Structure 1
Amino acid sequence: MTTIKYEVIPTEEGQSIKRKPSKWFTKMGFLSVVLLILALYTLSVATLANQSWSPWERSIETTTYSASALDIIFEIGTFSSTEVKDDTTKSSLSAVTETETENESSSQESIEKSTEVDAMVITDPSTSSHLSEDSRTETLYPLETNSAVKYFVNSPRCQMTHPDPFAKNILKIDRKHHYIVCDNSPDMITVNFNETDSTNRLHKNENSTCCYRQIVRAGASRMADNQYKLGRCVEFQQDFLVPTEVKAMITQCRRPPFDKVSQKDAFSFVHPRRNSTSDSNSEKRPSVLLWGIDSISRMTLERTMPRMYEYLLGQHWYELQGYNKMGDNTFPNLMAVLTGFNKSSAYGQCHPDKVGGLDACPFIWKDFKAKGYTTAFAEDWSQYSTFEYSKRGFFHMPTDVYGRPLILAAEKELKITHHSNMPYCLGRKPSSEYIYDLGVQFTRINRNSTFFGMFWTNTFSHNDFSMPSAMDNKMVEYMRTLDRNGVMDNTIIIFFSDHGSRFGPLRKLDSGFVEERLPFIYIRLPRWIREKYPKIVRNLKVNRNRLTSPYDIHATLRHILELNTLPEELPRPNGCPTCHSVFEEIPWSRNCSQAGIEEHWCACDSFSNLPKSGPSARNMSTQMVEAINKFVRSKRGEKCRQLKLDQIISVQQRSNSNQYLVQLSVQPGNAKFEATVQWDSSAQNITIWVPSISRLDAYAGMSGCSSVAETKKFCIC
């Protein structure tokens, strides 16, 4: 972390004074300053002795100054360096400047001002020797150049371009969607929540007979996470009190003459956690809420969800514009966030393809649970959810509140309406709203205690990059509901995605390479965190345009559990020992390797085109297809057809390296692939890591004959 030393910059007026003061005047002035410093130092030590400082707060003292400390520095600055010779005076000055800190109870305005001072870079030649190389050169790399080239990150080791979200070629294929109302009929049942005792009652809005069927998780062995059962339909009267053992239900209501079902709905319920245990440490802890949407880049969020984007800019949200995914699809990226593992470790240590494998996996929610937090996890679209697609899911419920049984039942028992081949509506409301409504309930019930919750959706974003526009207003409404419910008073919220569009028309554009690799991420801190830990605010602002990865978010989650631990003592992610919490300053000159990002997924490089018709391009492309075929055969892919090179779309050299980005299409299926290869020009052969190859077109339905997850994107049956 860069430590900036503040010194007085000589003024023109000061330089014009040539006369030296008399020795008598110099000695008296010098003695006066020494006495003043000693008096202030004694006063500050006495003050500090009466305050309780955390290790984190002590660690920021050397770079944060109050007005009085700066005044002293400027007073001393009137003497030349040759005049200040007394070692005692020097050590006293150092002690004063290192122990002066901001008052914890300062207002938000003063925090913002101190942040600005903290982030200053002194560029005067007389002080440049005190600055790190990063600090001296960072100003030479602007985020927007004179030629109007924009960057998310711009440093010697990472030049991450900032495509225009509203470029003409994007707007040509984009279309705005309005909110889709799944059913216009009035609700026959309303769930009324009682704030006083945290109970739910079912209120009938018209003359009808209604019953409910309890949804229970009921799978076993390989189907433990994929089966449910319904209880018998229990008729209930007006304002029926929902039993605490009922966590989800399907309701059926009949209007007169009561001969057929008039309306069918699914509901979830969160009840207060009983017999909760808490950490013996009584320090105040924040809750954590992960609110996620699949397949949305930072550029797509700005374009398709303008109201949400505006909301994020107007509140206490901190964006990480250089957030780069570390793997191909959802699983490796979320595993990096939740476990700190890379893909090979996630499979090697968590065994998601085996029954019970994920149960033994060290998910971060287990650490929060051990600290007394109530935990929750929920995701829509059961078939393609993160821990079930080509995997075995969880044998036991992974968290205190688990949304999967509700989604399984709703998808089976209610009418499904598809949009863009996604189950957008389940019965009378969008699939995603079952998840976010559960999130609202969970946070509301537990807002006066501590909780860790993750709520993730796929069904309005995964297959169509423009569909998120349909949920724009609704997402703002959810955030405002969390605020009204008081959830934001003690909750760190991470609003994020896993990656951008991986296939389809948006991915095929020139900006598609960056689009895929840069998911959006915003972090919101409650007010007491901002006031108690101003250095965190400062670092989040500094990190806005630094290279970050999912491993850093995992480290941040661990940091939240240990806010009063010194930064150097915090644990580092298993998959990236050089990664750390974004509450600390991220090095400006960081590269993708230091962020745990494979070269193929790195959005930092510049590219130059190689002729597609040249022998090198042909050799790279042919060998790439051969490598794919060999890999599929090694994974028991005998039913998959042999692929043949059809067309070389592009071959681009990464910077001035021996690495090339190759795009091509194959037959059968006209499948399109993109890979980073290392080219040995003397031997005329490539080195390639096949699992990292990107598939640029949708392949659902093409690879049903393969049961191996890693071969799905390569297999044409």
Structure 2
Amino acid sequence: MDVQHMINTPGCRIPVAMVNYKKPHKNRKRGYCGYRAVFLEREDIDKVRVVIKEKSIKKYLKRGKKYHCCYRFFQRSTKPGHEHRSLRFSKCTKIHDRETINLEQDFINVQCFENSNYNQTHRIYDDVYAFCKKIKVKNATTCGKQYNVLLIGMDSMSLSRFVQTMTRTAKFVYDKFWPNYRGYHKVGDNTFPNLMAALTGHNISSIMKSCSGRMDQCNNKLIWSIYKNSGYVTAYGEDHLRLPDIFSKDYSFRKSPTDHYMRPFFLKEEIEINNHSLLCAGKISSGQQLLDYAINFVLTYKDDPFFGFFWMNSFSHNMNNHPEDADRMFEDFFNRLYYTGAFDNTFIIFLSDHGIRFGENRILVESYYDDRLPLLYIWPPTTFKMNYPDKLKSLLINQFRLITPYDLFDTLFEISKLADCDEVENEAADPNHNSIFSVISPNRTCQDVGIHDKWCSCHNLYPLDAEDAEGIRSVHFAVSHIVSVMQTIKTKRCWSCTHLSLKNVSRIHFYYDKNKINIYFVVAFSMSPMNIFYEATVLHKDSQMYLVGSVSIISPYKGFGDCTIKHEDRIYCVCQKNDNCRLSSIF
């Protein structure tokens, strides 16, 4: 194995560039969501058993000794316009220890109340629980074996960050010989373009044009709808709903996109604690709730074909989060999957969207590569290995080829059609994208697969002195672009953008194009006020300079541009209140 390159092919050479994620956290106390006093245990496919820990519940009592508990189901609101942000609850029904209740819906809220001496009650306990209430699966006509698919994702997890911070999970996948795709490369800046490429096979321009403001009508483009049409039961869950991540704002679903949909569960209650490092949903972490629901989904449909997509933001989205705190949780999750027998007939895909995009690590040149190379592991089912040896061979060879989320979509599409009687055309098919079940050409380049020059990392970066003349010209060119953009930004009434100026140059690197004709400068610098750090790629061609893609902010965004009208303008604006300006009074 080439230890100096992530991949080393004629079309793409990506060097190994490790950001150190093993920094000690002095005196860091792990957060705690509370202690669970009421447990709900799946007893049958449609039965749940209640266990109330008397000693634990008494710790919540404040004055008296009497209490009572009740449960209620909750789901999305059916009120037009409120479906994606409001809930409706059933009547709260009293429960007792060892009682069995019928599972009527997926999500349950348990509340306990203390009974005072004055016939008054106040709530002392509130918790939430998620189960999959089994639905009837519409069987499709098949001519072969249908394989289940389970996608488990973590936000902002490069391969490097994963192996350094989640050592137990990394050892698990290594010991079980999971193929690891070292050349899996992001195709866009943030979560949305990278996951939409994997889930639809389309680029961000196409998605914005056809789906903005009408995501429900676009649901048929998503891979889970393709599986649904092939007779699979589907599920989608994502925690940390306050983040503007996958399906938010103009891309929100008003209707449930899958058979089982976790948004109502996390809409009920998510609380950040411990300096935003832990997100709680009830008495346990949101991440644990997500993985528990995923396991429940797998067990509920163990005899039916299923497709599940579960995305975790809460332990890795930013540098305040600690993936190491989720390490044992993921190790346990994969072990539980293993002992259920799911490994025999389920493709398990463990992936991310990109690496860390903001924070002190992004000042390091190694982070240039780290940001662009998310983790991707794929477990091929035991029976698939026996039935499709040629596809398995390709799966293994492609670990060391340039792979994109578009290829992952084509792979998922092929899995969905393995059991079909007739060949079905992939509507999102592109001759430059390939299923990982076919050997991918070693001559493949970023340009071949639609990775913009801004994001391509198939080159070595060579350092230059921070005072290099051509490098400094590139910095000033990027700064002038930011200033010109800032002058056109529209802000809310009584606000404007403070003038930004260059403060410091952090690093200057360069690389040549494949033919060594044009030179690209990759520069990182800070601007005043607020000490905001940016990264830009500047092309020098025929004595002219051109900005490659957009200028990226690499320091954490802390709300300094919230006065802008357009969301995308906020990273170039430090808001200041205009003197002698008053908002119109309303009488």
TM-score (norm 2): 0.87
The residue that corresponds to 2:60 in the other structure is none
Instruction: Judge conservation of contact 2:538–2:545 (CA < 8 Å) in 1.
Output: no
Structure 2 gaps of 5+ residues are 58-66, 576-587
Q: Structure 1, residues 11-61: CA drift from partner, whole Å, max 9, x if none?
A: xxxxxxxxxxxxxxxxxxxxxxxxxxxxxxxxxxxxxxxxxxxxxxxxxxx
Q: Is the aligned partner of 1:288 residue 2:149?
A: yes
Contact 1:293 1:496 in 2 (8 A): yes
Amino acid at match of 2:47: T
Q: Distance in 2 between matches of 1:223 and 1:632?
A: 36
2:355–2:374 Cα contact (<8 Å) kept: yes
Match of 2:436 among 582, 588, 594: 582
Alignment-derived partner of residue 33 in structure 2: 182
Equivalent position of 1:299 in the other structure: 160
Aligned length in residues: 553
Deviation larger for 394-403 or 695-704: 695-704
Partner of 1:710: 568
Q: Equivalent residue for 2:447?
A: 593
1:332 and 2:332 equivalent?
Answer: no
What is aligned with 1:402? Answer: 261
> Where do residues 510-521 of structure 1 align in structure 2 (5 Å cutoff)?
510-521=365-376
Query: C-alpha distance in 2, partners of 1:290/1:712?
Result: 33
1:529–1:344 Cα change, 3 Å = same
SS at match of 2:503: strand
Deviation at 1:538, TM superposition (A): 1.3
Partner of 1:536: 391
Instruction: Answer 1 or 2: which has greater helix percent.
Output: 1
Residues 342-364 of structure 1, C-alpha deviation per residue, up to 9 Å, x if partnerless? 1211211111xx25466456111
The alpha carbon displacement at 1:464 in A equals 2.0
Deviation at 1:291, TM superposition (A): 0.5
After superposition, residues 243-392 of structure 1 pair within 5 angstroms as 243-254=102-113, 259-274=121-136, 276-351=137-212, 354=213, 356=215, 359-360=218-219, 362-392=221-251
Q: Which of these residues, 502, 511, 516, is aligned with residue 357 of structure 2?
A: 502
Query: For the structure 1 residues 452 and 363, does the alpha-carbon distance in structure 2 shift closer, same or farther, using more than 3 Å as the test?
Result: same
Task: Specify the alignment match of 1:431 in structure 2.
Answer: 286
Q: Which residue in the other structure is 1:621 paired with? A: 475
Q: 1:646 aligns with which of 503, 508, 513?
A: 503
1:159 paired residue number: 13
CA contact (8 A) 1:173 1:505 kept: no
CA 1:344–1:480: 2 relative to 1, 3 Å: same
- Write the distance in 2 (CA, Å) between the matches of 1:361 and 1:612: 50
Deviation at 1:270, TM superposition (A): 0.8
Letter in 2 for 1:530: K
Whether 1:663 aligns to 2:524 is yes
C-alpha distance in structure 2 between counterparts of 1:355 and 1:671, whole Å: 35
Contact 1:390 1:709 in 2 (8 A): no
Q: Deviations over 1:375-420 (max 9, x none)?
A: 1111111111524544351011111111111101112xxxx34244
Q: Which has the larger radius of gyration?
A: 1
How far has the Cα of 1:423 moved from its partner? 4.8
Q: Which residue of 1 aligns with 2:49?
A: 201
- Separation (CA, whole Å) in 2 of partners of 1:555 and 1:629: 42
Deviates most, 505-514 or 248-257: 248-257
Q: Is the 8 A contact 1:547 1:595 kept in 2?
A: no
- Counterpart AA for 1:703: G
Does structure 2 conserve the Cα–Cα contact (< 8 Å) formed by 1:355 and 1:395?
no
Structure 2 equivalent of residue 110 of structure 1: none
Q: Give 1:670 deviation, angstroms.
A: 1.4
1:449 maps to which of 287, 304, 307 = 304
Deviates more, 1:652-661 or 1:436-445: 652-661
Query: Which residue identity does 1:688 align to in structure 2?
Result: V
Q: Distance in 1 between matches of 2:28 and 2:306?
A: 34
Structure 1 range deviating more: 307-316 or 257-266: 257-266
Partner secondary structure for residue 250 of structure 2: coil
Matched residue SS, 1:391: helix
CA distance in 2: counterparts of 1:280 and 1:668, whole angstroms: 64
Identify if the C-alpha distance between structure 1 residues 630 and 223 changes in structure 2 by more than 3 Å, giving closer, same or farther: farther
1:467 to 322, 325, 329: 322
Match of 1:7?
none
1:553 matched residue in structure 2 = 408
CA contact (8 A) 1:619 1:685 kept: no
Q: Deviations over 1:171-191 (max 9, x none)?
A: 4466797865422x4x43222
CA contact (8 A) 2:395 2:437 kept: yes
Residues 624 and 688, structure 1, Cα contact 8 Å, conserved in 2: no
Helix, strand or coil for the counterpart of 1:481? helix
What pairs with 1:49-68 in structure 2 (closer than 5 Å)?
none
**Alpha-carbon distance, 1:570 to partner:** 6.2
CA contact (8 A) 1:572 1:578 kept: no
TM-score by length of 1: 0.72
Q: 1:633 to 1:570 in 2, by over 3 A?
A: farther
- Asked if the contact 2:73–2:89 (Cα under 8 Å) also holds between the matched residues in 1, the reply is yes
Are the equivalent residues in 2 in contact too, given 1:677–1:686 (CA < 8 A)? yes
Give the counterpart letter for 1:713 in structure 2: I
**Is 1:236–2:95 an aligned residue pair?**
yes
Change (3 A) 1:243 1:324: same
* Alpha-carbon distance in 2 for matches of 1:493, 1:439: 12
| 1:174-222 Cα shifts (integer Å, max 9, x gaps) | 6797865422x4x432222134x44323333438521123222117565
Within 5 Å, give how 1:162-173 maps onto structure 2: 162-164=16-18, 171-172=22-23
- Distance in 2 between the 1:460 and 1:164 partners? 20
Contact 2:534 2:552 in 1 (8 A): yes
| Contact kept in structure 2, 1:155 and 1:589, CA below 8 Å | yes
For the residues of structure 2 that align with 1:675 and 1:361, how far apart are their CA atoms? 37
Contact 1:359/1:398 (8 A) holds in 2: no
Cα gap change, 1:675 to 1:703, in 2 (>3 Å)? same
Q: Quick one: percent identity of the two aligned structures?
A: 28
Contact 1:287-1:490 within 8 A present in 2 as well: yes
Give the secondary structure class of the aligned counterpart of 1:713. Answer: helix
> Where in structure 1 are there 5+ consecutive unaligned residues?
1-141, 145-149
Distance 2:223 2:414 in 1: 11
User: Residues 558 and 465 (structure 1 numbering): CA distance in 2 closer, same or farther, change over 3 Å?
Assistant: farther
Shift in Å at residue 634 of structure 1? 5.8
How far apart are residue 279 of structure 1 and its match? 1.7
Q: Contact conserved, 2:540 with 2:546, CA < 8 A, in 1?
A: yes
The residue type equivalent to 2:40 in the other structure is: V
Matched letter for residue 461 of structure 2: F
- Does structure 1 conserve the Cα–Cα contact (< 8 Å) formed by 2:18 and 2:370? no
Q: 2:41 aligns with which of 158, 180, 192?
A: 192
Instruction: Kindly provide the CA deviation profile for residues 212-251 of structure 1, in whole angstroms up to 9, marking residues without a partner as x.
Output: 2322211756543122233442223444444444221221
Alignment check: 8 A CA contact 1:218 1:229 kept: yes
What do the CA deviations read for 1:471-521 (whole angstroms, capped 9, x no partner)? 111111011112222322221010111111111122222311111111111
Aligned residue number for residue 583 of structure 2: none
* Corresponding residue SS for 2:160: helix
1:610 CA displacement: 4.1
Q: Separation in 2 of the partners of 1:373 and 1:577?
A: 28
Q: Distance in 1 between matches of 2:347 and 2:26?
A: 33
Name the residue aligned to 1:40: none
Q: For residues 329 and 13 of structure 2, what CA distance do their matches in structure 1 show?
A: 35
C-alpha change, 1:451 and 1:273, in structure 2 (3 Å) is same
Give, in angstroms, the shift of residue 164 of structure 1.
Answer: 4.3
